[in-house]
Structure formats: C-alpha cells, structure tokens
Structure 1
Amino acid sequence: MAWVRKNKSGWVACYRDRNGVRRTLKGQVFTHKKQAQNAAAEAETKAQRKRTSSSIPWSEWRDTWQEQRTVESSTQTEDEKRIDRYLSPRWADVALCDIEREDLKAWRAELLKPYEVKVKGETATRQRSTATVNRIMSLMSKSLSDAVDSEVLEYNPAKGLTISGGDVEHERYLTKAEVAKVTAELSPRWALLMNFLAYTGLRWGEAKIHSLDGIYQKRIDVKRGVVQVFEVWDDKAGEVKQYPKGKLRRTVPVPKWLMDSLPTTGPRLLSPRGAMPQNNNFRRALNAAADKAGVERFRVHDLRHTYASWLVQAGRPLEQVQYLLGHKSIIMTQRYAHLGELPHDDILSALA
C-alpha cells in the first residue's frame, strides 16, 4: 500500500515497485498531504500494472515490438533472421521481468565460444566474430529498450553489453601496379568495373546503379568528368534507394582515361554476360585474376580502402577524403590518417 511522509520541504509520496522495493516519487514534494497520497497511489498502481505487463514471455513482446518498429525492409529481413536464429531459441519462453543482466552476459559468452558444424560430412570448428555477437546483443538490447519506452519494463538489463574494441578488420590497400596486374587478367567488363571501383571509391551498391538503364545513365557526366552519387542499389532488398539516409550525396571526379573507357550509350557497368553484376561472381573473378597475377587476394570493399589510401598518401586533406567517400563523420575517415604519416627516417633526420 502506498504511503506518504513529511520532511522539511513538504509531503513526499512513497510506494512499492513491481518487485516490492520501497520507492520515493523522485523530484516531487507536495504542499498538501492529500496531493502526496494521490500521487503515491497512482505511482503504485502504475508499478503494479508494469509488473503484470512485464510478466509476458519475450516471444509475446517480440510480436508487438516487431509490429511497432519502423526500419528499412532490408534491415528488417536481416533482423528477423537473427531473431529466429539467436534470440528466440534462448529467450522466447522467458518472461520479460525474468531476463537478468547476468543471464545476458552468460548468453554473450556462449555466443563467443567456438562451435562445431558439419561441412560435407566432416566436423569443422567455427567461431562468431565480435562484430556478429555485437549485432545480436544490440538487437536484444533494442527489444528491451523499446519495452522500457512502452512502459512494459522499468529498465533495460542488456544496456551496454556490446563488446568494445571488437575484431580488428584487416584492410587491404592495393598499389596501382597491383590493380593493373589484376585487371590485366580479367575480362574487359570485369576489368572496367574493378577500375571504376578503385579509381572512384564508390561502394558496391553505388557502382551497381550504373548497370541500370534510364535516368541512372545521366549520373555519369562525361562533360564534367564526374559521377553523381545520389542513389544506391540494395542487394538484399533488390531495389534502388535514395540518398541521403545516414550517407551523403556527393559528386566524385573520374579520371579521363577511365571515363573514355566507359560505354557511351546504355548501362555503363555490366557483367561479362551483359547483366547486372553480382557480388559473388565478381569476387570469384577477382580471386582467380589475383591468383594468376601473383597478387594477394582482396575483398571487393578493399578497392574502396585502396582509393582512400591513394588520396591520403598523395597528401589530400582528410576532410576532402571524407567528402569523396561519403562519410557522414570525419571519425570514419580517420582510419586512413596513419597512411599520410611521415616516414620514420624523416622524423629522425629532423631530430638529428
């Protein structure tokens, strides 16, 4: 039962929360006792109502939560996969109020452990990356924070349980000579696509737009020698998406020799079969060409890193590189800052 007590400033409302713990209504002191009694009764009723709501299993909240979410369709598809694979098997039958922080920590530890899978009849050991586990934990935390926002839970026990630092991504920077060696082993259309990615720094989806017909042909301005990055192709959703949404529209210069090598009519960047290029096919072609050329294998996205590395090593300001890459924050661009550092010999000679 709610109650009140008097202090020097006036009357204070007191109640018990859903766990039976004594609480004081924070930040409120009442002049009249009756006002404090009414506030205390209301706070306790609200706390008990939360207790009933928070007793529902996580699976029941999940259905409500997913209906309320407003995210991109591709994000929703990926999240649903993670929910079905990781969240639901562990938490579906657990009441929201019974999800404890220690249990979440133990679950995180399990996700980080190596596990065995069957590959062509053989047992193989796999381990999830820190980034993968962080995405899983973030999704769980989001479900609980939204429950707090909906006044179903009082607090989010998963808050702050992602792992700082994480895996160090191996970034591969190719030299211009290496790019030339690999493109020499590719079919003409794959070579054109590789050069376009390496010499513009566009993301895969941004470049893939130029395999489409119509208005997208106009995004490459031959007279000005630039490519306008206004849209992106979303492979997961299978559709074009407009910028900006977390990323920025921009205009990127294209070397004249590369611009001259692009088709003058129709879609500019097609696969060898004349269709929209697929990442898996392009990656296989790159691997085979790199092996033939005697160049260490690299990912498609490493061509974007390569572009940034060339600019920084040539002394371009990070702010300019940030714009050309379409980074919303300079923090993302600072990952390349070390490439522009002076050689140690120059530093030592200055100190001599």
Structure 2
Amino acid sequence: MSLYKRKDSTCWWVRFTHKGKRVQESTGTNDRQKAQEYEAKLVNSLWEQERLGIKPKRQWNDAVVRYVDETQHKASQVSDLYHLRWLDKYLNGVELQVINRDFLEKILKAKQAEGVANSTVNRVLEVVRGLLRKACNEWEWIDRVPAVRMLPEPKKRVRWITRNEADRLVEALPSHLADIVRFSLETGLRRSNVTGLQWSQVDLVRRMAWIHPDQAKARKAIPVPLSTVAVLTLRKQIGKHQTHVFTYKGNTITQVNTKTWRKVLKEVGIESFRWHDLRHTWASWHIQEGTPQHILQELGGWSSPEMVQKYAHLSSAHLMEWVDRKIAVVQNVAEVVRL
C-alpha cells in the first residue's frame, strides 16, 4: 500500500491491490495524516465487505450518476434531471444509508416552502423513490427503501370539447393549424407525434400510420389506423414538404401553442383548453361512442389500463340494462298489486 500525489492534483492518492484487483482513488485531502486515516478506513471497509458481508457505503452522487446512465431511455429524463439538480443541495455527499423517512420529510417541507403545488412536490419525491428503489432492488447498494410520503393531489376533471365546439375551432383557425387540430382529433396522437410526423411513417393506401418506439412516451410502437377524415387531411399535405407531413410555408412546425391558437380559442368561446386536451377530447369521444377500454388503450398507446380509466365515467351504456331491469321489476310488482 502507498500514498502518492499526482501531478494534476494537490490531494494524496491511495493505491494498492486487494484480492487481485487494483484499488486507486483520491483521499480528498492534502494532509498526509488524514490521508493515512482514509487509507486505513478504506482497507477496513474492504475487509468488512469480504468477511462480514457489510455493504460498501455509497453516496447519493454515485447513485445519481448510475441512475442517469441507466434511465436515458425515459421520455421524462429531462424533468428527472431538473429535479435531481434541485435535490443536489440537500443530498450532495450524503450516504444512501442515511436517507431515511425523516430526511425525506425535510426535503418535502423544503419543496413545499417554495409555494409549489402538491403535484410538483410529489414529482420530486418520485425521482428520489425511483433512484432508491434501483439502489436497493437492482444494485443491492442498500438493504431497504424508506417509506416516501406523497401529498394528496386533486383529481382534475377531464377537459374535452363537443364536436360542435371542435368544428367551430377548426373553422376559425388558420389552415395549417386547422389541419393539425383535425388530424389530432381523428388520431389522438400527442403534439410532438403529429408535428414530427414524417411521410415515411404514413401509408395512405393501407390507411395506416405508425409511431416508432423511440417517439412514443411509453417507448412502445403505436399503430395508427387512419379514418377517412384523417386520410383526406393527409392528402392535402402532399407536395408541401419532402420529409415532414405538417409544415408552414415550407418549414417544419415545432410550436403550436401560439398567440393565434390562444386568440382563436377566446374568439370561439372555448375556455381552459390546452393543446393536449385535443387528445382527451379524442378519447372522450371514443368512450362515448362505445369503444372498449382495452381497444382505446391500444389506440392511444397507453402503458396501463389505469390511464384509460379516467374516461370511463363518460360512458354509461353498460349500466343501462340494469336501469331497465329495475324499471321492469317495478312494473311487474305494480301489475301484481293490481291483480
């Protein structure tokens, strides 16, 4: 075993071989005595791991690096990174074993103190919980995951518009936005999937389009059967651009939540309506017209039935037979009484 200094560092480094493997790392100090203490603790830690089965002490920072590397496929990684940056001031350098329920409660209170909604607090805590679960279940860095308290979130009603409102909206919009809205209402695709749709993803003969796995939120391919209205809308775009379907003056479209969009909504009297509510509207229409939930789940590319369940209350067709049965029973009783 030996301590040494590298040319690019003022700190002491430790280097030795353990069980045939080379161990080499910085002690984090330029004090030789403290470096020797660090070296002794490191050797003792390796002995405890080998003989006593004690897990090595890992820091939050180590877990973040591995978590980010292993979750690159997640569509929500951008927001995960945002939350991880915020968490850094509370968890930087903290050992994973130290993060308990009380520690997490302090983080919860700190986020609440910023005056944000409960849902925002929960999104931060979900990142912490997801990372700790990986550290426990997959990496075996810790023995257990502390309970993470989530705050109650109000259940928002599904915002959708009627077909009459949709017709008024489409009629009032500029043609390039009207076509995108019309296609969205026919397919239920998310904004990025519509604005990014390319001709290579469309087969007008078979009346099909498809969203590739890396373009889908659930990272699963989505087949998109095209209605007659959707096909006619696509045919209007032929010749406007070589690769992309929906364009404006020869340029691809990335932003749709524009001043024009908001102005037209106000003009036609549609309030509290976001672009994503077009997808809610498409799903609501399907449910009201009797589309089975498992079919709607596949059409919409949702990963679980729970995602579709929020639209279930919009259809009561499956309850009608029970209402009619009750009416029939009452009529039968009345008939018996008359006899």
* Fold-level similarity (TM above 0.5): yes
Distance, in Å, in 1 between the alignment partners of 2:200 and 2:81 is 37
1:217 has 2:194 as partner: no
CA drift of 1:180 comes to: 1.2
CA gap 1:346/1:90 in 2 versus in 1, 3 angstroms: same
CA gap 1:188/1:75 in 2 versus in 1, 3 angstroms: same
Letter in 1 for 2:53: K
Q: Could you list the per-position Cα deviations for residues 280-308 of structure 1 after superposition, in whole angstroms to 9, with x for gaps in the alignment?
A: x4354322111011122311111111111
Secondary structure of the residue aligned to 1:156 is: coil
CA drift of 1:136 comes to: 1.4
1:325 has 2:300 as partner: yes
Partner of 1:45: 52
Identical columns (%): 22
Q: Retained in 1: the 8 A contact 2:159–2:280?
A: yes
1:278 has 2:267 as partner: no
Partner of 1:238: none
2:228 to 245, 255, 260: 255
TM alignment of 1:133-152, pairs within 5 A: 133-148=121-136, 149-152=138-141
Partner of 1:301: 276
TM alignment of 1:67-216, pairs within 5 A: 69-72=70-73, 75-85=76-86, 87-113=87-113, 115=114, 126-130=115-119, 132-148=120-136, 149-157=138-146, 160-161=147-148, 163=150, 166-210=153-197, 216=198
Partner of 1:122: none
Q: Could you list the per-position Cα deviations for residues 18-48 of structure 1 after superposition, in whole angstroms to 9, with x for gaps in the alignment?
A: xxxxxxxxxxxxxxxxxxxxxxx9886222x
CA drift of 1:174 comes to: 0.8
Letter in 2 for 1:154: D
Partner of 1:58: 60
* Range that drifts further, 144-153 or 193-202: 144-153
Secondary structure of the residue aligned to 1:183 is: helix
Letter in 2 for 1:97: Q
Distance, in Å, in 1 between the alignment partners of 2:210 and 2:308 is 18
CA drift of 1:311 comes to: 1.4
CA gap 1:73/1:345 in 2 versus in 1, 3 angstroms: closer
Q: Could you list the per-position Cα deviations for residues 111-146 of structure 1 after superposition, in whole angstroms to 9, with x for gaps in the alignment?
A: 234x3xxxxxxxxxx42342x323211221233333
Q: Could you list the per-position Cα deviations for residues 288-332 of structure 1 after superposition, in whole angstroms to 9, with x for gaps in the alignment?
A: 111011122311111111111111111222222222212233332
Q: Retained in 1: the 8 A contact 2:297–2:304?
A: yes
Partner of 1:268: 245
RMSD (Å) for aligned C-alpha atoms:
3.2
CA drift of 1:206 comes to: 1.8
CA drift of 1:164 comes to: 7.2
Secondary structure of the residue aligned to 2:172 is: coil
Q: Name structure 2 gaps, 5 residues minimum.
A: 1-47, 328-339
Distance, in Å, in 2 between the alignment partners of 1:94 and 1:313 is 52
TM-score (norm 2): 0.69
Partner of 1:227: 208
Distance, in Å, in 1 between the alignment partners of 2:65 and 2:160 is 46
Distance, in Å, in 2 between the alignment partners of 1:330 and 1:73 is 20
May I ask how many residue pairs the two structures share in their alignment? 275
Q: Could you list the per-position Cα deviations for residues 70-115 of structure 1 after superposition, in whole angstroms to 9, with x for gaps in the alignment?
A: 4227644432221112x111111433332221221232244234x3
CA drift of 1:198 comes to: 1.0
Q: Name structure 1 gaps, 5 residues minimum.
A: 1-40, 116-125, 211-215, 233-240
Q: Retained in 1: the 8 A contact 2:158–2:311?
A: no
Letter in 2 for 1:145: R
Secondary structure of the residue aligned to 2:252 is: coil
